Amino acid sequence: MIQTPFYLIDRAKLARNMAVMDELRAGSGAKVLLALKCFATWPVFDQMREHMDGTTSSSLYELRLGREKFGKETHAYSVAWPEHEIAEAVGHADKIIFNSVGQLERFDNQSASIARGLRLNPRFSTSGFDLADPARPFSRLGEWDAGKIERVMDRVSGFMIHYNCENADFDLFDRQLTRIEEEFGGLLARLKWVSLGGGIHFTGEGYPVARLAARLRAFSERFGVQVYLEPGEAAITGAASLEVTVLDVMNNGKDLAIVDSSVEAHMLDLLIYRISGKMEVAGDHPYMICGKSCLAGDVFGEFNFPAPLNVGDRLSIADAAGYTMVKKNWFNGVKMPSIVIKELDGSMTVAREFGYADFAGNLG
């Protein structure tokens, strides 16, 4: 038996998302790029690259990883490129997307050899969290002034417009895209490509994929552009779990179970956004599932189990692919979860284990 904790990526569940990806690509003509900021676990890129068109990045290291491990089309974006990275970035990328007019102008000569884009901020989004809202007041994420953008239109061939966040409401997407068409249509018609970013939850249960495909095709045909999407969560919805073991049980007014993992170290988004993890369990025995770090609020959530928990019980924290492995850290020196792949035949492949040398190597 594989020692916990470990992230378990299930290729069969991943295949379900990839089938939806194929449906959307075929129906819309859009290209889909894996957003590495969400999921960059390259041992399963062999499966994903058969159904996706490439990768999009948020930094030089992500860009290089996408080029070397995924291949296909590679988009380079960064909120701000430093002088010492721009030449390497251009060398790895098919397209480079600048966050501001200032960055585009600064690196005009260095980037002129490849296709260039600009991030457009429509000044609205679907995010329910101020922390993640790209259109929050005083946002640094993209340009919104059409007059300012106009002066560099001769140097760009596309826009990246990222404003969705776990948006499962197609009608809302439709209305907001219509608003973008109305406000920026004059600029869009002069482009060759438009990326509508990520955050569209089209692999969610019951999402009207055919309607999304038709809407994207209509947008593409109206403006004569190649549409790109940048799915992160949509690519890996439900495809992985965090496997943990109960180390202790307590009662301090509630029944508690302490596991051999940490929210702070291994599922940081739960703390950042103050949301609960997910477990596919039900029953009459409630427990608060707690991480083993010394952070008082290191809690995965409260769940009901069919029987009392005991030391040694194995638990699965569900939907644990997105923004986990890319954010994991060595807080408290808690053992880093291994990365394990459940193959299509049901066998388990340990893709990576981490030990003390990895911990020490990060610190000096």
CA distances from 345 to 11, 97, 237, 349 (A): 9, 40, 21, 11
Q: State residue 313's pLDDT score.
A: 98
Helices 209-223, 11-28: crossing angle, 10 deg rounding = 40
- DSSP state letter for 335: P
Domains and CATH numbers, the chain: 12-235 (3.20.20.10), 240-320+328-362 (2.40.37.10)
Q: Please list, in sequence order, all residues whose beta carbon lies within 8 angstroms of the beta carbon of residue 344, skipping any fewer than 6 positions away.
A: 11, 12, 15
For the purposes of burial, counting CB atoms within 10 Å of the CB of 254, is it exposed (0-12), middle (13-18) or buried (19 or more)?
exposed
Phi, psi (deg, nearest 5) at residue 329: -145, 175
| Residue 361 identity (one-letter amino acid) | G
The H or E element spanning position 217 is helix 209-223
- Calpha distance 148→153 (Å, rounded): 9
Sequence ranges of the binding site: 233, 269
| 8-state DSSP, 271 | H
Q: Could you tell me which residues are annotated as the binding site for substrate? A: 233, 269
Token output for 152? 């560099």
How much helix, strand and coil, in percent to the nearest 5, is found in the chain? 35, 25, 45
Output the CA–CA distances (angstroms, integers) from residue 283 to 238, 257, 300, 360, in the order listed: 22, 16, 18, 42
**How far apart are the C-alpha atoms of 113 and 110, rounded to whole Å?**
8
The β-bridge partners of 98 are: 78, 118
Token output for 291:
């991480």
> Which three-class secondary structure state does DSSP give residue 119?
strand
Q: How do the pLDDT tens digits run along the chain, 364 residues long?
A: 899 999 999 999 999 999 999 999 999 999 999 999 999 999 999 999 999 999 999 999 999 999 999 999 999 999 999 999 999 999 999 999 999 999 999 999 999 999 999 999 999 999 989 999 999 999 999 999 999 999 999 999 999 999 999 899 999 999 999 999 999 999 999 999 999 999 999 999 999 999 999 999 999 999 999 999 999 999 999 999 999 999 999 999 999 999 999 999 999 999 999 999 999 999 999 999 999 999 999 999 999 999 999 999 999 999 999 999 999 999 999 999 999 999 999 999 999 999 999 999 999 9
CA 265 to CA 327: how far, in whole Å? 8
pLDDT (0 to 100) of residue 253: 96
- The closest alpha carbon to 62, from 49, 78, 73, 51, belongs to 78
**Residue located via tokens 């893709």:** 351
pLDDT tens, residue by residue, 253-281: 999 999 999 999 999 999 999 999 999 99
DSSP annotation of 155 reads: G
Taking alpha carbons only, the member of 164, 254, 283, 145 closest to residue 216 is 164
Average model confidence (pLDDT) across the chain: 97
In angstroms and rounded to an integer, the radius of gyration of the C-alpha atoms of the chain is 22
Angle of the 170-188 helix axis to the 209-223 helix axis, nearest 10: 10
pLDDT at residue 128, as a whole number: 87
DSSP string for residues in 72-117: SEEEEEESS--TTTHHHHHHH-SEEEESSHHHHHHTHHHHTTSEEE
pTM: 0.96
Strands (DSSP E) along 185-337, which ranges?
193-195, 226-229, 240-251, 255-259, 285-290, 299-305, 314-317
> For residue 221, what are its two tokens?
């045909």
